């Protein structure tokens, strides 16, 4: 009988756990948790079958994964600072052995193909999440970190009233006092099971909302999967929760306010979106919060093939154990 692993994290971002829940839906069971950024801790043990999606190579030292892990690489995104580690001989040999690699974004796809690794564009696995109760009624607006990546917001909390005013302007004067407010920022020491449970709670809110407003890509993409209307606020250049975001913000101040996050091009075309700089300047097109428009792109043509690939991978693992 195959043993199945699931990724866990020691990060401050609950979006990582949302990606694990997207993988978990395909697993017959979870036999072992594997820390994405400390793969060396999992070097010993029985063979594991894993769906390896998400943002990789935050920690270069623990790449590639241990040989005991049999991976399916889908929705794979490499950290932008990890090019050297990703293209090392050991890394490329590993990826070629487990190709094709499904890439979440065009940049990762081009990098791997340029190194002779068979790869394809898979989009994000969170697009394959299913609404728990398709017949449930929808209620209310949910804000999940609508400006959470923005440096000015994060370091100058006294500006919150101004941000609320911007939203009212975007929403044609609508009052959001009755909205639900969530955050994906968590204590990085939170135990894995609590992280998963909290991610499930957030997903349940998204699944039954009338509208979700967020700057978090792993809030927005599940909404597309659930058919929940979503308004994605595109952060400024380099706006991030870590030190790298502060460096990026300084570059933004020196070179101009432009979009640079490689995760967003292509993905934002799937949803209604506004640029934060346009919201701030008052030039963003109004958005109807009372009757939010349906999401602009059908998701099933994207999610269907990705879902089938994951199901086939698990079916093959189960069949091999019975042979």
pLDDT-derived band at 302, boundaries 50, 70, 90: very high
pLDDT-derived band at 72, boundaries 50, 70, 90: very high
Q: Are residues 74 and 108 in the same domain?
A: yes
pTM for the full predicted model: 0.87
57 in a domain, yes or no?
yes
Q: Are residues 77 and 163 in the same domain?
A: no
Q: Are residues 209 and 91 in the same domain?
A: no
Given a cut of 70, is residue 161 above it in pLDDT? no
Q: What is the pLDDT of residue 237?
A: 56
CA proximity to 77, closest of 281, 264, 283, 317: 264
Q: Are residues 36 and 76 in the same domain?
A: yes
Give me the mean pLDDT over the 152-181 stretch.
Answer: 67
Q: Are residues 98 and 17 in the same domain?
A: yes
CA proximity to 59, closest of 82, 75, 76, 42: 82
Q: What is the pLDDT of residue 175?
A: 64
- What would the two tokens of residue 145 be? 């970190």
Q: What is the pLDDT of residue 247?
A: 36
8 A C-beta contact, residue 78 and residue 263: no
Q: Are residues 286 and 159 in the same domain?
A: yes
Number of domains within the chain:
2
- pLDDT 10s digits, 21-60: 999 999 999 999 999 999 999 999 999 999 999 999 887 7
Lowest mean pLDDT segment, chosen from 14-28, 82-96, 257-271: 257-271
Q: Are residues 70 and 173 in the same domain?
A: no
73 in a domain, yes or no?
yes
């Amino acid at each position: 009988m195959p043993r199945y692993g699931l990724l866990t994290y020691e990060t401050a971002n609950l979006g990582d756990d949302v990606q694990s829940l997207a993988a978990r839906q395909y697993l017959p069971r979870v036999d072992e948790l594997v820390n994405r950024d400390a793969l060396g801790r999992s070097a010993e043990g029985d063979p594991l079958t894993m769906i390896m999606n998400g943002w990789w190579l935050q920690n270069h030292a623990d790449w590639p994964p241990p040989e005991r892990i049999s991976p399916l690489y889908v929705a794979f995104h490499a950290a932008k600072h990890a090019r050297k580690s990703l293209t090392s001989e050991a890394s490329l040999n590993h990826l070629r052995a487990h190709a094709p690699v499904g890439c979440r974004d065009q940049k990762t796809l081009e990098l791997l193909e340029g190194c002779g690794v068979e790869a394809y564009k898979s989009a994000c696995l969170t697009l394959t999440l299913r609404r728990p109760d398709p017949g449930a009624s929808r209620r209310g607006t949910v804000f999940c970190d609508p400006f959470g990546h923005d440096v000015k917001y994060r370091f100058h909390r006294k500006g919150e009233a101004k941000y609320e005013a911007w939203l009212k302007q975007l929403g044609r004067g609508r009052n959001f006092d009755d909205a639900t407010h969530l955050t994906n920022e968590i204590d990085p020491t939170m135990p894995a099971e609590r992280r998963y449970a909290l991610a499930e709670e957030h997903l349940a809110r998204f699944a039954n909302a009338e509208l979700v407003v967020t700057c978090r890509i792993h809030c927005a993409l599940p909404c597309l999967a659930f058919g929940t209307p979503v308004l994605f606020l595109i952060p400024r250049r380099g706006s991030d929760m870590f030190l790298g975001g502060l460096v990026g913000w300084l570059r933004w101040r020196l070179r101009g306010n432009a979009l640079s996050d490689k995760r967003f091009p292509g993905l934002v075309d799937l949803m209604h979106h506004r640029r934060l700089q346009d919201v701030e300047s008052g030039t963003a097109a109004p958005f109807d919060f009372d009757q939010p428009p349906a999401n602009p792109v059908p998701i099933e043509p994207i999610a269907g093939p990705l879902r089938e690939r994951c199901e086939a991978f698990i079916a093959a693992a189960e069949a091999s154990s019975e042979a």
